[in-house]
Structure 1
Amino acid sequence: MPRRARVPRSRGFLPFRASAALAEGVLTRAMLRGPTWRRLLPDVFVNAQTALDHRVWCAAAALLLPADAALAGLSAAYTWGVNLLAPDAPVQVVMPPERRMRAHPRITVVRSPLPADDVVRFAGLPVTTPVRTAFDLGRRLPKVEAVMAVDALLYRRLVKPDALTAYTRQHQGWPGSRLVREVLTLAEPLTESPMETRLRLVIVDGGLPRPIAQHDITDSRGRFVARSDLAYPAAKIAIEYEGDHHRERATFQRDIARLNALREMGWLVLRFTAEDVLRKPDRVVSQVAAALRERGHDWNTSAVIRPV
């Protein structure tokens, strides 16, 4: 069995250009063909023990980018801390229309104007700014996925709604800018998870009033009791998305105590899972509608039911 070569300290566990390593004399072609190194892209290698997450693939792709190109789209969002990527998703990059780059299945290239002000270096990588990232996702993704992405960027305070609105206005002639404006009307900076975004959009797209996100519920003395993912405060209806973490024993016990406290205060609590949101959206809408009717609210007269 061949021995693994000693790893030069200068190479570590980050991707590198093989041509540069050969020119520096720290590696040989025979060493690169050995078990110590793994080829990721043309002329790009990495230590074979490196875990290949999307960050590593981004770093590999960045080594091949022209100077005026950058990581973009969902890869840029990932770099900024918002992970909405499918497993094994290719790296998304953007470059000016006149630039060319060899096609590769691990890299998706979008050609678009890319002013220097729209690119920064973050974690050592060229990446579109948060506002440009949000703008691109808002105009290129399907509506639900676009709102999920913008919600996440807003929630992390990487982008402010006013900044994205202003940027969209300044680029209103760009393809898809109209879609960004629609996404902005649906976005919610307080949304804490992508599935909460999906649940909210199921409700709104079902023709029901837009619920309030992350509503604090207090008792008659003004003491905090619970925070609801979504709520119609005037109707005392709380709507919760139940992720897998709610199955943990401690969380489950807290949820029961919280649910009982809300019932004592006259609140109706609806709880939905991923199965409901993704596969039974019509049932979600019908149950929320039934709750509103039960509480005597006609949603045809108001876009949002707010506290009285």
Structure 2
Amino acid sequence: MRISRRPSLPRVFTGRDAVAAGALTEAQLRGPVVQRLVRGVYAPAGLPVTHELRCEAVGLLLPPGGVLTGRSAATASGVPLADRDDPVTVLLPAGGPDTLPRGVDVRLAQDVVASRRWRTTRLAVPERIAFDLCSRAPLPDGVALLDAFARAGGFDPASFRAWVDVRHDPWVRPARRAAELCDPRAESQPESRLRVHLLLAGLDVEPAVTVLDAGGRFIARVDLAVRGARVAVEYDGRWHALREALESDRRRITALRDAGWEVVHVTAGSLRDPGEVVDAVRRAVARQAARGLVLR
């Protein structure tokens, strides 16, 4: 590794290499010239610290066969599922050395397969990335991560279901369940979590449904719809900054109601109590059934 003495330093480098090359002294590693990303790995001071930069740093420390996986690999692929200070998730061959520093989430597997090179390291295959997104997360969160990664083209849900069906890894059962519920039509992670809560409660909901009138003309596109019930479930997580947007949304809701639809609004606050949301949707379905608008 070559490090010039003064003009520039690499984006990430180990302190040991920098000192060995004469680019920095031990004292400078503790001073304002550099910033530490993880134990033993640094970046020039002033370089914005992102999760991707921390992944680059950890890549310098991975033993042979190690790869990025899970939210870290998704983020490195351009799907930002990890925040700056989240642990960097890596996959290592089982039985190999593991001397990685704090801030690294280590997963183990007998067969570690890389898909492609990425900066200082490699990424796991898409199916393994998807597995590590969902296998250890609560089901609504795991499905939300899968939906987001699939929506961005990170993996094919059908291929993942086939892949996970023949696996015998620890945590494979929750991954299979999440794979069954994955739907890349979902447009946000909160909407995905909302859908999973409703499905687990026995409500047959579908994401991103286009509503047409009797003549086939477009009325609206709704976040979730209860099949056969004309009940729309809308996640209101967006601020309507413009008055025009608010008025357009009101016209849209009015058009849905004029077409015989009930609309249940869910906010981030109400989603903290999924049982309350489920009850609200069930009440809406019951009202539609009383009006004779629910298909049997």
Same fold (TM over 0.5): yes
Q: Counterpart in 1 of 2:278?
A: 285
- Alignment match, 1:222: 216
Aligned partners of 2:288, 2:6: CA distance in 1, in Å? 68
1:168 to 164, 180, 187: 164
Structure 2 length normalisation: TM-score? 0.88
Alpha-carbon offset, residue 91 of structure 1: 1.1
Which residue in the other structure is 2:40 paired with?
Answer: 43
Count, aligned residues? 291
**1:80–1:130 CA contact under 8 A, matched in 2:** no
Q: Which residue of 1 aligns with 2:79?
A: 82
Q: Which residue of 1 aligns with 2:8?
A: 9
Aligned-pair CA distance for 1:187: 1.8
Deviation at 1:96, TM superposition (A): 0.9
Report the AA paired with residue 212 of structure 1.
E
What TM-score comes out, normalization by structure 1 length?
0.84
CA distance in 1, matches of 2:100, 2:14: 17
Secondary structure of residue in 1 paired with 2:286: helix
Where does structure 2 lack aligned partners over 5 or more consecutive residues? none
Partner of 1:198: 193
SS at match of 1:255: helix
AA of the residue aligned to 1:132: R
Letter in 2 for 1:183: A
Q: 1:1-308 residue pairs with structure 2 within 5 A? A: 8-11=7-10, 14-85=11-82, 88-116=85-113, 118-122=114-118, 125-171=121-167, 173-208=168-203, 210-232=204-226, 234-246=228-240, 248-278=242-272, 280-296=273-289
Give the distance between the partners of 2:216 and 2:143, measured in 1 at CA. Answer: 33
Q: How far apart are residue 264 of structure 1 and its match?
A: 2.1
Between the aligned partners of 1:241 and 1:169, the Cα distance in structure 2 is 32
Look up the SS of the partner of 2:276 in the other structure. Answer: helix
**Distance change (3 Å), C-alpha of 1:233 and 1:251:** farther
Deviation at 1:247, TM superposition (A): 5.2
Change (3 A) 1:257 1:67: same
How far off is 1:123 after superposition?
5.1
Secondary structure class of the residue paired with 2:289: coil
C-alpha separation in 2, matches of 1:176 and 1:33:
41
CA distance change for structure 1 residues 206 and 169 in 2, over 3 Å: closer, same or farther? closer
Give the letter aligned to residue 181 of structure 1: R
Per-residue deviation at 1:293? 1.0
Q: Distance in 1 between matches of 2:84 and 2:38?
A: 18
Q: Distance in 2 between matches of 1:51 and 1:248?
A: 32
Identical amino acids, percent of aligned pairs: 33
User: What is the CA-CA distance between 1:30 and the residue it aligns to?
Assistant: 4.7
- After superposition, the C-alpha distances for 1:271-296 in whole angstroms (9 at most, x for unaligned) are 11011111x22221111111111111
2:9–2:44 Cα contact (<8 Å) kept = no
Report how far residue 223 of structure 1 moved: 2.6
Structure 1 segments, 4+ long, off by >6 Å, are 305-308
Instruction: Determine helix, strand or coil for the equivalent of 1:192.
Output: coil
CA RMSD of superposed structures (Å): 2.6
Distance across 2 between alignment mates of 1:216 and 1:46: 49
Shift of 1:240: 0.5
Q: Give the counterpart letter for 2:170 in structure 1.
A: P
Question: Displacement, 1:265?
Answer: 1.9
Which consecutive residues of structure 1, in runs of 5 or more, have no partner in the other structure? 1-5, 298-304
**1:186-225 CA deviation, whole Å, 9 max, x = no partner?**
22221111100111122122232x2111001123332322
Query: Aligned AA for 1:238?
Result: A
